[in-house]
Amino acid sequence: MMQSHQEEYEEMVEIGGFRQHQHTASDDSHPRLLNDNMRSNRSSRVNPDDFASPQWPPSIAGTGSSPSLTLRSGATTPYDHMSSSKHLIFADSRSSTPMTGRSPSKEVSSSDSDDQNGIAILHDRDDADIWKGWKRHLYTLTPLLTVLNTGIYLTYLGLRIACVILAQKASGLTFAAAWVFIAVELAVAIPSLMHNTWTMWSLKKRNRPKMRLTGNDVPTVDAFITCCGEDDELVMDTVRGACDQDYPIDKFRVIVLDDGKSAGLERSCAILSHTYPNLYYMARTKIPGQPHHFKAGNLNYGLEQTTLLPGGAGQFMAALDADMIPERDWLRALLPHAVMDPKMALVCPPQLFYNTPPSDPLAQSLDFFVHVIEPIKDAMGVAWCTGSGYVARRDALEQIGNFPLGSLAEDVATSTLMLGKGWKTAYVHEPLQFGTVPEDYGSHLKQRTRWAIGTVDTSFKLNFCLWGEKVRQMTFAQRFSGFLYAALSVYTVLLSISLFAIPIILIMGKPLVAYANDTQLRWLIRACFANTIVNRLCEFVLFIPAGYHTGQRGSRYQLWMSPYIALCLIRAFILPKWLGGQTQAFKPTGSISSALNERDPKLKKNMFRRLWVILVNYMAGFHLAFVYLTLVAVTLVTYRCFFQQSHSTRDILIALVTHAFWPPLTFIFICSSLWTPVGYAIDPPRMPEREDLLIRDAETKVAHPTAQSKKIAFGGQAAWFEFEYTFSTLYTCLIFVLSFLF
Q: What is the pLDDT of residues 20-29, one digit of tens each?
A: 333 333 333 3
Question: What is the DSSP secondary-structure string of 99-121?
Answer: TT-PPPEEEEE----TT--EEEE
Sheet strands (E) in 531-631? none
Q: Which residues of 557-581 are buried (b: 16+ CB within 10 A; e: fewer)?
A: bbbbbbbbbbbbbbbbeeeeeeeee
Helices 621-639 and 666-674, axial angle in degrees (round to 10)? 150
Rounded to an integer, what distance in angstroms lies between the CA atom of residue 622 and that of residue 518? 39
**Can you tell me the distance from the alpha carbon of 316 to that of 98, in angstroms, rounded to the nearest whole number?**
10
Angstrom distances, CA of residue 469 to CA of 19, 394, 475, 481 = 15, 21, 13, 18
φ/ψ region of 401 (left if φ > 0, alpha if ψ in -120 to 50, else beta) reads left
Whole-angstrom Cα distance, residue 172 to residue 166?
A: 10
> Which residue, among 238, 553, 542, 136, has the nearest Cα to 372 in the 3D structure?
542
**How far, in Å, CA of 346 to CA of 411, rounded?**
11
Contact between 710 and 354 under an 8 Å Cβ cutoff? The reply is yes
Query: From residue 604, how far is each of 170, 191, 199, 591, 598 by CA, in Å?
Result: 61, 36, 42, 18, 4
Residue 190 vs residues 126, 150, 193, 216: alpha-carbon distances, Å: 32, 11, 5, 51
d(CA 229, CA 589): 10
Q: Which amino acid type is present at position 294?
A: F
Given the DSSP bridges, would you call strands 344-348 and 391-393 parallel, antiparallel or unpaired? antiparallel
Phi, psi (rounded to 5 degrees) for 694: -120, 155
Domain ranges of the chain: 5-125+217-437, 140-203+489-595+605-683+712-741
d(CA 581, CA 464): 22
Query: Which residues, at least 6 apart from 432, have a Cβ–Cβ distance to it below 8 Å?
Result: 326, 327, 329, 330, 333, 334, 349, 350, 389
How far is the C-alpha of 736 from the C-alpha of 594, rounded, in Å?
49
Q: How many angstroms separate the CA atoms of 38 and 310, rounded?
A: 7
C-alpha dihedral (584, 585, 589, 590), degrees to nearest 10: -110
Taking the CB of residue 667, how many other CB atoms lie within 10 A of it? 20
Fold of 5-125+217-437: Spore Coat Polysaccharide Biosynthesis Protein SpsA; Chain A (3.90.550)
Residue 300 CB burial class (10 angstroms; 0-12, 13-18, ≥19): buried
Which amino acid belongs to residue 625? A
Count of CA atoms in the C-beta half-sphere (13 A) of 515: 17
What pLDDT score does 645 carry? 63
Q: Which pTM value belongs to this model?
A: 0.82
Q: Is residue 175 within 8 Å of 164, Cβ to Cβ? A: yes
Which whole-number Å values give the CA distances from 238 to 248, 313, 483, in the listed order?
19, 22, 35
Q: Kindly provide the b/e burial profile for residues 50-82, where b requires at least 16 CB atoms within 10 angstroms of the residue's own CB.
A: ebeeebbbbbbbeeeeeeebebbbeeebbbeeb
Strands (E), 288-367: 316-321, 325-326, 344-348, 352-353
pLDDT at residue 299, as a whole number: 95
C-alpha separations of 86 from 14, 116, 477 in Å = 50, 11, 32
Of the candidates 527, 506, 507, which has an alpha carbon nearest to the alpha carbon of residue 515? 527
**Burial per residue of 409-425, b for 16 or more beta-carbon CB atoms within 10 angstroms, e otherwise:** bbbbbbbbbbbbbebbb
CA-to-CA distance for 136 and 292, rounded, in angstroms? 47
Dihedral sign, Cα of residue 234, residue 235, residue 239, residue 242: positive
Residue 357, preceding peptide bond in cis (omega within 30° of 0)? no
The closest of 242, 266, 238, 246 to 254, measured between CA atoms, is 242
Burial 145-155 (b: 16+ CB within 10 A, else e): bbebbbebbee
Distance between first and last Cα of the chain: 68
Q: Show the CA angle centred on residue 557, arms to residues 555 and 558, nearest 5°.
A: 70
Which residues does the chain have with pLDDT short of 50? 1-55, 57-84, 89-115, 585-593
The rounded distance, in Å, linking the Cα atoms of 149 and 146 is 5
pLDDT one-digit tens code per residue, 428-478: 999 999 999 999 898 899 889 888 888 888 888 888 888 888 888 888 888
Asked whether the beta carbons of 233 and 266 are under 8 A apart, the reply is no
Entry field: residues in the chain: 742
Q: Reduced to 3 states, what is the DSSP secondary structure of residue 143?
A: helix
| Cα separation, 433 vs 328, whole angstroms | 9
| Element containing residue 222 per DSSP (H, E) | strand 221-227
Give the C-alpha separation, 240 to 103, whole Å: 29
Across the chain, which distance is largest between two alpha carbons, in Å? 99
Which backbone phi and psi does 427 adopt, to 5 degrees?
-120, 120
